[in-house]
Amino acid sequence: MPSVVGLLEQHELAARRRVDELREEADRVQAELAAEQEWREWAIARRRVDTVLAPDGADTAEAEATADPQNADAPPTARDAAKPKTQVPVWRQGLAWSVLSADYQRILQALADRVRLGQGPLTCQEMAAQFGMDVVPARVEALRSKAKRLVAGGWLAERQPGRFTLAAGVSGPGGGS
C-alpha cells in the first residue's frame, strides 16, 4: 500500500504538469493575440487610406461610421478586404429588392419566408444555419453586420436585441411594398 506522502507527491506532480501545460497554452494565446493586434492596426491603416483616397472621402468615412457603430472596431473579414463595402440604400415605398446585393436579398428572403409562414424573428445564428454556413463567430458576425446595415436602412426591424424581422411596409422581393 502506497504511503500518503507518496500519493500526495503524485497528485502534486500531476497538478504541476497541468499548470505547465496551461502556461504554455497561455503563452501561445498571448502570441496569437499580439499578432491579431498587429493585424487590426494594418486593417485600420488600410481603411484610413481608403477613406483618404476615396473620391468623396468625407461621405465614405461618415457612411462607414454610421453603418454599424457598435461594430466599428471589429476587424474586417478576409472577404471584406477583397471588395468595397456594399452600400444599403434607405428603404422607401416601391423600392425593389434588386437594388441590394445578393447577400442582403438572401437575408430579406429568409425573413419574408418567416413572415409568410407566420413565424417570428430570426437571430443571426439561425440565419447562418439556415443558409448552410458554419455557425462560427466570424460568419455570425458578418451576418449581424449586414442585418444591422439593413436595419439602419429601414429594411429590417430589430425589436429585440439580436432578433431581426422585416420592417413595417417591406414585403416580397418584387418590390419594396
Number of other CB atoms surrounding residue 106 within 10 Å: 16
Q: What is the pTM of this model?
A: 0.50
Number of other CB atoms surrounding residue 79 within 10 Å: 10
Element (H, E) at 44: helix 4-53
Amino acid at position 9, single letter = E
Number of other CB atoms surrounding residue 86 within 10 Å: 14
Retrieve residue 59's grid coordinates.
461621405
Instruction: Determine the Cα–Cα distance for residues 30 and 70; give it in Å rounded to an integer.
Output: 25
Q: Tell me the domains of the chain and their CATH numbers.
A: 4-82 (no CATH), 97-166 (1.10.10.10)
Enumerate residues 6+ apart whose C-beta is below 8 A from 145: 67, 68, 71, 74
Element (H, E) at 100: none
The predicted pLDDT at position 56 comes to 57
Retrieve residue 126's grid coordinates.
439561425
| Segments in the chain below pLDDT 50 | 57-73, 76-83, 176-177
